[in-house]
Amino acid sequence: MVELSVKTEVTGSRKRKAETTVKATKRVTKKAKSDLKPLESRTVGSKLIMGAHVSIAGGVHNAIPNLLHIGQVTSSPLANAFALFLKNQRKWDNAPLDPEYATLFIDGCKEHGIKPGDCCLPHGSYLVNLAHPDAARKKQAYDSFLDDLTRCHKLGIKLYNFHPGNANASTREEGIKIIAENINKAHKDSATGEVIPVLETMASQGNTIGGTFEDIAAIIEHIDDKDRIGVCLDTCHVFAAGYDLRTPETYAEVISRFDKIIGLKYLKALHVNDSKAPFGSCRDLHARIGTGYLGLRAFHNIVNDERLHGMPMVLETPIDVVGSNGKKSEDKSIWAREIKMLESLVGMDIESAEFEALEKKLHEEGKGERERIGEQVEKKKAKQKQVKAPKSKKKAKKVESESEEDEEDE
Ligand SMILES: [Zn+2]
């Protein structure tokens, strides 16, 4: 990674440090990094718009070499999908978008045939809770949200993914109304252009809003301009929340429920993650594709669903590896291979030896983690049962804070 002279975010999955500091005095190079070669070639003619959450360390323009690094697209008009943070996702105060970086981002997209309006899906700040009823907190959250949408507009990005919020300080109904109110207000601000806020489905923990399709539908119901609202389905989250994507039948059933309750026309994007935690566990723990409790068949269902072709699909799978020196680092080639593999699943016969071998290999790879987390989930369940009934409110709070300590994914 290049030296940074700004504090900024790092990508994707958890345990990223919120701030990558700085080799203090070194000036930022305003040229995008060009030394990164693609780790994999992409599948020519693939129907998928697929990518990962890339870093903007050093400036938003650096997203471009970072996304090309995990797989160069050769087939127009489709391109890599990608996610990024528009600013530090764990800080309230951020420097404004540097216009020079913005220009470099836009030029970089043009140069490589990337249409940020179609394939970029930024991820919102983790601090923002658009459901907060308190006036000062509400303003702080709204201002950050508005700032993100404004940044999208300036960068030519059309979709903006965020976690809807939580009802820790309100009732669920009130929280849902406040979220919609904030979105309606942002829609009316011309600085947000035509940017579409995209509600991410959540893993349904405690007071989190968005863990059910009903929550999402309720928010949309309160939106005035329904052309400017969307949904991002996170495969790990919905699975943890009790929506089963594993077999063709259950998958079809979930999508048809989505259609009935929310409306498929609102589905704009997917976060493509396997789950380290079992079905219905409400735990948000992303696993590499095929290694978790979802398994490869779930992703075969997804990539072969023509209704989803052309939508940005973004990996947020863990790529941390521990080197022989015991140090952790990121291995981006994992994403490059996952993308290539997902592309290869389109049209692959699920009965074929090729599929079965791949499924078996990945399933084996994830065995340790599945067992470890599976045990954790069972233990927690047992503990919850032991606590004698109704102090439910207090208990619910306790469980929530415990799960926060677990460092869930996003
Ligand atoms: Zn996600």
The pairing of strands 274-275 and 230-234 is unpaired
pTM: predicted TM-score of the whole model, two decimal places: 0.86
Q: Please tell me the predicted confidence (pLDDT) of residue 408.
A: 65
pLDDT profile of the chain (410 residues), mean per 10:
34 39 40 66 81 92 89 62 89 90 94 90 94 94 96 97 94 96 98 98 93 98 98 98 98 98 98 97 96 98 96 95 90 92 95 97 97 94 75 45 46
CA distance 259 to 266: 9
Q: Please tell me the predicted confidence (pLDDT) of residue 93.
A: 85
Q: Separation of 12 CA from ligand 1 center, angstroms? A: 9
The pairing of strands 320-322 and 328-330 is antiparallel
Q: Are 377 and 281 in contact (CB under 8 A)?
A: yes
Beta bridge partners of 198: 161, 230
Q: Separation of 138 CA from ligand 1 center, angstroms? A: 23
Domain 49-321+328-405, CATH: 3.20.20.150
Ranges of each domain in the chain: 49-321+328-405
CA distance 50 to 341: 11
- Residues involved in catalysis: 90, 123, 126, 163, 200, 234, 237, 271, 284, 286, 316
Q: Please tell me the predicted confidence (pLDDT) of residue 34.
A: 56
Q: Separation of 298 CA from ligand 1 center, angstroms? A: 16
Q: Separation of 13 CA from ligand 1 center, angstroms? A: 9
